[in-house]
Copies of this chain bind each other. A is one copy, B any other.
Amino acid sequence: MTSKQEFIEKLRNSSLRPTKQRINICEVLFNRDKTFHFTINDLFNLVKDETGEKVSLATVYNTVHAFHKKGYLKEIPINSNQTYFDTNVTDHHHFFDVKEEKLIDLKNEDVGPIEIQKSIPGKKIKSVEVLVKLED
């Protein structure tokens, strides 16, 4: 449970002005028990529902991109009409329940270490992500 004051400091330390909107978004995103997987639209609705204050859609986009750039959010590679983000920014893998359109974290020990044996000259590995699609 992070206090509003702590969010304000964190934003300032990231050279992001602590606006009412950003603080509300922080509370929705980061005051959760579990990893939170969401689309922009999910977040837009949750901010309204959970804080009672409406934030414009443009601001949700702006803020998510700002947080993503600062490394506070991760983008999850799946094919969907909407982009998914994740509050768990560590290297980790996912289940994707295709029917429910829901992401579930996999612990690294549930997947095991992955050694990539091939390399491309002049390129280095930035990330290795496993996506496990689930069906009924």
Contact = CB atoms under 8 A, between A and B. Distances in A.
Interface of A: 75-79, 83, 95, 97-98, 104, 106-107, 109-112, 114-118, 120, 122-136
Given A77-B79, A78-B77, A79-B83, A112 B115 contact: yes
Contacts of A117: 109-112
A124 B134 contact: yes
B124 A133 contact: no
- Most chain B CB atoms below 10 A, which of A115, A122, A123, A127: A123
B123 A136 contact: yes
Given A79-B75, A111-B114, A114-B112, A126 B134 contact: yes
